[in-house]
Amino acid sequence: MLTPEQDQQAIALIRGFAMDAPLHANSGHQGTAMALAPLAHVLYSRVMQHHPQQPAWPDRDRFILSGGHASILQYSMLYLAGYGLELDDIKAFRQWGSATPGHPEVGHTAGVEVTTGPLGQGFANAVGMALAERHLRARFGADVQQHYTFVVAGDGCLMEGVSHEAASLAGHQQLGNLICVYDDNHITIDGDTALTYSDDAAKRFEAYGWHVEDLGEAADDLDALEAGLRRAMAVTDKPSLLVLRSHIGVPSPDFTDHHSAHGNPFKAEHVSRTKAVMGIPDEPFWAPADLVSAYRSHCTEAGQAATAAWQQRFDSASFDRAEWDACWAGGGIAGWDEALPTFEQGEKIATRVAIEKAFNATLAGVPGLVAGAADLTGNTGTKLAGQVAMAPSTPEGRQLYYGIREHGMGSVMVGMALHGGVLPAGGTFFVFLDYMRPPVRLAALSGAKVVFVFTHDSVGVGEDGPTHQPVEHLATLRAIPGLQVIRPADANETSAAWKAAVEHNGPTALVLSRQNLTVCTDGTAVAVGAEVVVDANEPKVVLLASGSEVSLCVEAAAQLAASGIGARVVSMPSWDRFEAQPAAYRADTLPSWLPVLSVEAGSTLGWAKYATDSIGIDRFGASAPGGEVLDRLGLNVANVVARATALVAAHASN
């Protein structure tokens, strides 16, 4: 234990950094970090199981700052505990290339578990982390997986809808390893929460099935904070919410309990007056060397003892090490892909059906796979054969039912992936990307290995009409940096897409059909992003397509050939994978001297990069049988033949 004097010095240092870093950057949020300095100190120095020199140790407790705007609080703790941040990093807060960006970013700063900032996302990520820990504990034993997920969330997090979805799921799953401290400071940017917020959060979480305890005015009482956290840790059948009445900006004589403390950096005179109240030197980035040394030694020694004990347990545990390694790699056991299904040319099968066959064929070889859907498990191909549901009584289950909670599902999956040991795949209709785009974006920003399964991918949905026909969504996904997007042409490309997802070090979106598609490829286009599937001796036009339109183009090419026009058909399931190929391959696949007609049942936005002309859907769909909607919107052989013929004629005249 640190001495009482060191406790108080550490809290003063954190509060000093919380003011100095935003002042130095002329940007940032000091108030919450100042208020929660004692809580963070108690978590890192007394409660959490962690090792600063081994930040990726599998059995560490996870800490998530859901209100990522208070990032200086976490950076202060990582500096104090010895995770590699030094004073120059704190001084570079919010600057280009620094290890201390405006909001915490996983993979960028050691000790940061998830990327937070959009409020509520971190809270939902924490639910995913707790699910992953309990699942792995059930599969591999408590000797190697038994830890807690601690998340700090504020009023903004609890107002955002995603927190409601995630909290409901966590209560239903009885996640006793999840502890949330609700920073009840009564402040938002606009002012007192009374302006907009009259919920009784405690009763709401009790209704979700959480254990709730009001810690009251304990924000500066270290022993009370520790005792409250340990009581919550002793509750094994419910997640816990600890309500902590804090005072933003404390102990500032100017801005305590004032909304200005949230996002407006204190001026130098305000910082000076606060440091006088705190009794510390009025100097920027005050950090006594003896305190920092003692703090780091304390955290390192505790971490070394914990990891050494864990290693002994791990070495003597009896479980399949190949399975453990594959789970933690988010990949497959050697040779897993040999079980992938293949399909006969001419066979008709929806790609949403093909993905289910691929999942089930490789269940043993990809042991980390946990699949589910937002109440659409059978519809989206995410039903795992012979697997029990993940539930309080069967936490080892690999089938996870998320309920009608797309936003929560996406964010929970990101948390599961970033915890490690689990490869989450979650399905919904493509149009409901609208409800879960934030976690898709954050998965890409975080590099989280999540498989998003989107089915019913266009107007082929049919009678449900334009509310369920996602004509613009492919363009949305393709615009997200770091997201692998694959829209397979048929069942063989779907099988290859699953292989690509497992082998990819980041998130993948699989965009799949509701309707049956004719198998017309061998699946190899997925590996390179685009590939010729039909060619002519002397092609005069390229028909470039993805998904359900590839087989349409194959039919059109046959008709064009009969009229003397040679057509090359290129299946392009993945723009991003194609762009990663050498320039020579790309030029050979799409020669500059040939006109290109792209064909896709969605927005034409972006196709101009590859195509001379485009057939697509730049309007909303309609309610009618799917085949009729496609036909009336020009996604038919006759229109492709006519447009290709006109394109060839125009090209010849130039």
Q: What is the pLDDT of residues 466-522, one digit of tens each?
A: 999 999 999 999 999 999 999 999 999 999 999 999 999 999 999 999 999 999 999
Task: Report the CATH number that the domain containing residue 173 is assigned in CATH.
Answer: 3.40.50.970
Model pLDDT, residue 263: 84
- Whether 402 and 284 map to the same domain: the answer is no
- CA 296 remoteness from chain centre: 31
- Whether 71 and 175 map to the same domain: the answer is yes
- Whether 230 and 282 map to the same domain: the answer is yes
What mean pLDDT is predicted for residues 264-283?
96
HSE-up of residue 526 (Cα within 13 Å, Cβ side): 28
Domain boundary among 464, 496, 518: 518
Q: Does any domain span residue 321?
A: no
DSSP letters, 404-456, are S-HHHHHHHHHHHHHHSS-EEEEEEEGGGHHHHHHHHHHHHHHT---EEEEES
Q: Which alpha helices (DSSP H) does 68-200 contain, by range?
A: 71-81, 87-91, 121-140, 155-159, 161-173
Q: Does any domain span residue 314?
A: no
Q: Does any domain span residue 327?
A: no
CA distance 542 to 557: 9
Evaluate if residue 38 carries a pLDDT over 90. yes
- Whether 264 and 236 map to the same domain: the answer is yes
Q: Mean pLDDT check: name the lowest of 45-49, 191-195, 403-407.
A: 191-195
What mean pLDDT is predicted for residues 225-245?
98
- Whether 112 and 183 map to the same domain: the answer is yes
Q: What is the pLDDT of residues 130-144, one digit of tens each?
A: 999 999 999 999 999
Query: Strand 399-401 relative to strand 369-373: parallel, antiparallel, unpaired?
Result: parallel
Confidence of residue 49 (pLDDT cuts 50, 70, 90): very high
CA distance 555 to 551: 6
Confidence of residue 264 (pLDDT cuts 50, 70, 90): confident
Class of residue 283 by CB neighbours under 10 A (exposed 0-12, middle 13-18, buried 19+): exposed
DSSP secondary structure code for residue 69 in this structure: G
What mean pLDDT is predicted for residues 200-204?
97
Q: Full-prediction pTM beyond 0.85?
A: yes
Q: Does any domain span residue 445?
A: yes
Q: In the chain, pLDDT over 70 holds for what percent of residues?
A: 100
Evaluate if residue 332 carries a pLDDT over 90. yes
Task: Report the CATH number that the domain containing residue 551 is assigned in CATH.
Answer: 3.40.50.920
Q: What is the pLDDT of residues 93-112, one digit of tens each?
A: 999 999 999 999 999 999 99
- Whether 535 and 500 map to the same domain: the answer is no
- Whether 551 and 452 map to the same domain: the answer is no
When the pLDDT of each residue in the chain is averaged and rounded to a whole number, the result is 97
Residue 45: count of CB within 10 angstroms of its CB:
22
Domain boundary among 485, 518, 551: 518
Positions annotated as catalytic residues are 406
Q: Does any domain span residue 410?
A: yes
What mean pLDDT is predicted for residues 35-40?
98
Domain span holding position 418: 336-518
CA distance 178 to 210: 10
Cα 115–445–454 angle (5° rounding)?
A: 110
Q: Residues 320, 321, 325, 328: is their CA dihedral positive or negative?
A: positive
Q: Mean pLDDT check: name the lowest of 136-145, 162-171, 260-269.
A: 260-269
Q: Residues 364, 369, 375, 377: is their CA dihedral positive or negative?
A: negative
CA distance 335 to 331: 11
Evaluate if residue 622 carries a pLDDT over 90. yes
Q: Does any domain span residue 611?
A: yes
CA distance 171 to 160: 17
Q: Which two tokens stand for residue 198?
A: 């009259």
Question: Which residue from 158, 173, 141 is spatially nearest to 67, judged by alpha carbons?
Answer: 158
Q: What is the pLDDT of residues 343-355, one digit of tens each?
A: 999 999 999 999 9
CA distance 132 to 568: 47
Residue 82: count of CB within 10 angstroms of its CB:
21
CA distance 654 to 650: 7
Confidence of residue 278 (pLDDT cuts 50, 70, 90): very high
- Whether 356 and 393 map to the same domain: the answer is yes
CA distance 606 to 611: 9
Query: Strand 178-183 relative to strand 149-154: parallel, antiparallel, unpaired?
Result: parallel
- Whether 80 and 205 map to the same domain: the answer is yes
What mean pLDDT is predicted for residues 28-36?
97
| Strand extents, DSSP E, 196-293 | 211-216, 240-244
CA distance 136 to 370: 11
Question: Which residue from 327, 335, 391 is spatially nearest to 140, judged by alpha carbons?
Answer: 327
The set of residues, in sequence order, having a beta carbon less than 8 Å from that of 535 and lying 6+ positions away, is: 568, 569
Model pLDDT, residue 599: 98
- Whether 358 and 252 map to the same domain: the answer is no
Total domains in the fold of the chain: 3
- Whether 126 and 65 map to the same domain: the answer is yes
- Whether 445 and 535 map to the same domain: the answer is no
For 646, the 3-state DSSP assignment is helix
Model pLDDT, residue 73: 98
Model pLDDT, residue 654: 84
Evaluate if residue 528 carries a pLDDT over 90. yes
Evaluate if residue 407 carries a pLDDT over 90. yes
What mean pLDDT is predicted for residues 296-307?
98
Please answer whether residues 349 and 322 qualify as being in contact, where contact means their C-beta atoms are separated by less than 8 angstroms.
no
Domain boundary among 518, 544, 575: 518
User: Which amino acid does the sequence have at 269?
Assistant: E
Confidence of residue 58 (pLDDT cuts 50, 70, 90): very high
Q: Does any domain span residue 591?
A: yes
Q: Does any domain span residue 324?
A: no
